[in-house]
Amino acid sequence: MDFTAPGRAALTKAGFIRIDSLVYKNIMRFLKISFIIFAANCSLVGGSFAQSAADYRLKFREGDIRRAVITEVLRQQWHFPQVSADLAKPSIRTSKYFFTETIERLTPGGGAVIGATLDSFQTGISMGETKDAESFFKFNSNGDWDISHEFHDIKVLPRAQFLGNTLRFTMNPDGTIANFLNLQGFHENAIGKGYDYDMVHAMLSLTDSLRMGQLLEFGFGGLAAVEGPFTSPSTATEIHLTRTVSATEVGKGILKVHSSYFDAPKDIDYLEGIATPLGILSFYGAGSGEIAFKDGYLKHSVYNDTANIVLKVDIDTVPEEITRTVTTDIYPIPVLRGGKVTIKEIQAHHGKPKEPDADPTENPADSTSTRQPEHEQEETRNQR
């Protein structure tokens, strides 16, 4: 062994080379293992997402009944040039619908024909949104006075035309509505009743298949967007346009939904109570929401969309902001399904009439003796 200076230098250099080689091998081994783990994780994530895509499909069963409670809050802020900005207040309509939805029959491809009966609804309009907000209108279909006095008001009737009636539609497994089966009848009735021009427009706006579809749709298109972006027709109130929806799974049974709106028309004839030709100079719309899905059915969802519009009303330019929030909660109603029901009597209990009280003056052993009435007893004592 050479312990001279040149020898020590050569030995040291050889040692460093050996150490560097070992470090290199360890680093490469670590990277290889890390890559294998990363690839396995990617495979698991990809498999999980592919599996979850199938899980986010509605599983209908014929005869199932569910309670659907839908709350829609529509906020409109108009900026008319004749009104000072300090005095302009948003109009906020809050409507709550109580539907009983029955799976009437299944369709090929996993869809179903659903009958949705509007059992009751509440609607109200307020001006402003601070503590100083003013209540402009309220209606509750469960109140006798409201039904008797305000049922035919233009602020109620567009929604009231469905009260107690059943809307039938075909729903796809992704929650979107393929078509309505009887909505056209409501549309024709709105025209045939001879209502005023504004009233007819208001009623027709709610018999629009797209507008009713976006109210009754499960998941706002989010269930249809699990496997990739989903594009379909939609509306911003009465404005027909196109939407693109994307969905991201953020937890087990939880989806985050985002959407954008485009292709708005250049003009419309009606917008939330204004029945006059309106031009659309510019339009921007987007929305987001969240879906809770469990046991093959929608459980809860909340969605908020916003549209910023510049309208041309006659010779004026009127900016408007529309914000719509829809919350849907669905509760299963237990249904007794087929099968033989047997009622078996486990124990029978027959009551016996109570024996009359015995007269202490009579022979207790004589079960046939009867007690004399009071007036007969008094005559017997007098004779004695």
CATH of the domain at 90: 2.30.230
In a domain? residue 371: no
Q: Indicate the number of domains in the chain.
A: 2
Q: Are residues 105 and 7 in the same domain?
A: no
In a domain? residue 381: no
Q: Are residues 35 and 118 in the same domain?
A: no
Q: End of a domain among 291, 313, 333?
A: 333
Whole-Å CA distances, 167 to 102, 117, 285, 318: 11, 6, 29, 36
Q: Are residues 78 and 182 in the same domain?
A: yes
In a domain? residue 327: yes
In a domain? residue 359: no
Which value, to the nearest 10 degrees, does the dihedral of the CA atoms of residues 153, 158, 161, 163 take? -90
Mean pLDDT by 10 residues, the chain (384 residues): 50 49 58 47 41 81 96 91 81 96 95 97 91 89 90 85 95 96 88 77 86 94 94 91 96 95 92 83 96 94 95 86 96 77 62 60 50 56 54
Residue 141 DSSP SS3: coil
- Predicted pLDDT at 95: 96
Q: Are residues 127 and 35 in the same domain?
A: no
In a domain? residue 312: yes
Strands (E) in the chain, as ranges, are 65-78, 91-106, 112-127, 134-140, 166-171, 177-180, 230-236, 239-251, 254-262, 267-268, 278-294, 297-313, 316-333
In a domain? residue 355: no
- Predicted pLDDT at 330: 97
Whole-Å CA distances, 30 to 25, 158, 264: 9, 68, 55
Residues with Cβ < 8 Å from 230, sequence gap 6 or more? 174, 221, 224, 244, 245, 246
Q: End of a domain among 333, 361, 376?
A: 333
For the chain, the straight-line distance linking the first and the last C-alpha, in angstroms and rounded, comes to: 154
In a domain? residue 309: yes
Q: Are residues 112 and 238 in the same domain?
A: yes
Please give the residue range of the domain that contains residue 268.
56-333
Q: Are residues 13 and 103 in the same domain?
A: no
- Predicted pLDDT at 79: 86
Residue 373 DSSP SS3: coil
* pTM for the model: 0.73
Write the DSSP string, 204-232.
HHHS-HHHHHHHH-SSTTTGGGSSS-EEE
- Predicted pLDDT at 54: 76
Nearest Cα residue to 250 out of 205, 285, 302, 290: 290
Residue with tokens 């994307």: 246
Q: Are residues 20 and 156 in the same domain?
A: no
Q: Are residues 70 and 104 in the same domain?
A: yes
In a domain? residue 13: yes
Q: Are residues 165 and 189 in the same domain?
A: yes
Integer-rounded Cα Rg, in Å, for the chain is: 37
Q: Say how far apart CA 220 and CA 225 lie, in whole Å.
A: 10
Q: Are residues 45 and 60 in the same domain?
A: no
Q: Are residues 30 and 72 in the same domain?
A: no
Q: Are residues 6 and 30 in the same domain?
A: yes
Residue 271 DSSP SS3: strand
